[in-house]
Structures are given as structure tokens and as C-alpha cells.
Structure 1
Amino acid sequence: MENISLLLSEALAPYQASLGPVGTHGERLVTVRNTAGATVIEHVFFAAQLCDRRQLTDVVDGLHRDLMVAEGRIEPCVIAAMRNATQVAAFATTRAFV
């Protein structure tokens, strides 16, 4: 798991990521700190999310999104609108084949 902490820190640079101890259900607390050492994000992930390469990619993408929100570079309502637009487009595509 130390390697995962290093990978997360590398992917989220200049932020520093660290993993907390394993919880009772296998969950791990991921803490992301800025260069001053202040905690920016704390989020709990299951071990499976951190061990599987595809799920780890999703974790990094989610943390990138959360960092953009924390930095004020994107509003949460923009994320919701983007998700909604994707769902509507996917629904329209599947309805066209019915």
C-alpha cells in the first residue's frame, strides 16, 4: 500500500497523498495535503479500489475533480450538469437503437 500512496502523490502533484490505517471493513482513509501541509481532502476508499488499476484510475480522477472544486476552479453544479448531459446522451443513443 505504500506504493499506492507514492502513486497517488505522483498523480496528484504538487499535493501529497497519504493512506491511513486499514479500517474494520478494509477501508483506507486517503488524505490529500497541499504544499503547506494543510489537509485539502479526506476520503475513504475500499482496499479493492486502491489495488485494482482501473479502479485506482477512477480514484485519481475523482480526487482531481475534488481538488478542482476545493481550489475553486470548478463548481459542483458544473459536475452535476456534465453528468446529466452524459446520461441524457447515453439514453438517447440507446433509444435510437430500440
Structure 2
Amino acid sequence: MENISLLLSEALTPYLVTLGPSGSLREYRMTLTNASGAIVIDRTVSCYQLHDKRLLTDVVDGLRRDLLIAEGRLQPCAIAALRNAAQCRAFILSAA
């Protein structure tokens, strides 16, 4: 688990990632703190997400998006608009 924590810290620099027990047998508590030690994100992830490369990539992508929102660099409505545009393009391409 320490290796995964180090990999996450590298991927999410400058934030410090801490993994610890969640209370549930198959879940871990993931905490991201900024340079001043304030908790920016605190969430629970399953052990499957941490041990499957594809799922771990999804977790990191989601955390990066959440960090952009927490930092005020991305609004949740912008995410919804981007997803809607992607779905429309996919629908148009599949209909063609």
C-alpha cells in the first residue's frame, strides 16, 4: 500500500496523499492535503480501485478534476457541458 501511496503522491504533486484504513474491510480512506496541511479532498476508495491499473487511472483523473474544482480553476457546470458535448459528438458519429 505504501507503493501506491507514493505513486499517487507523485501523480498529484504538490498535494500529499495519505492512505489509511476506512473501517470497511475492502476500503481505504484517501486524504489529500495541501502544502499548509489543510485537507483538500477526503474520500473512500475500494481496494479494487487501487490494485487495478485502469481503475487507479480513473481515480487519479477524478482526483485531478476535483482538485481543479477545489482550487476554483474549473466550475462543475463546465464539466457537465464538456461531457454533454462529448456525448453529442459520439451520438453524431455513431449515427453517421
Residue number in structure 1 paired with 2:47? 47
For structure 2, the 5+ residue unaligned runs are none
Partner of 2:8: 8
Q: Structure 2: which amino acid aligns with 1:41?
A: I
Where structure 1 has 5 or more consecutive residues not aligned to the other structure, the ranges are: none
Shift of 1:23: 3.6
Partner of 1:27: 27
Read off the aligned partner of 1:57 and give its amino acid letter.
T
Task: Report how many residues are paired.
Answer: 96
Identity %, equivalent residues? 58
Q: CA deviation at 1:25?
A: 4.8
CA RMSD of aligned residues (A): 1.1
Tell me the distance in 2 between the aligned counterparts of 1:48 and 1:10.
20
Distance of aligned partners of 1:84 and 1:25 in 2 relative to their CA distance in 1, 3 Å threshold: farther
Mapping of 1:65-84 within 5 angstroms?
Answer: 65-84=65-84
Q: Distance in 2 between matches of 1:41 and 1:91?
A: 34
2:22·2:44 contact (CA, 8 Å) conserved in 1? no
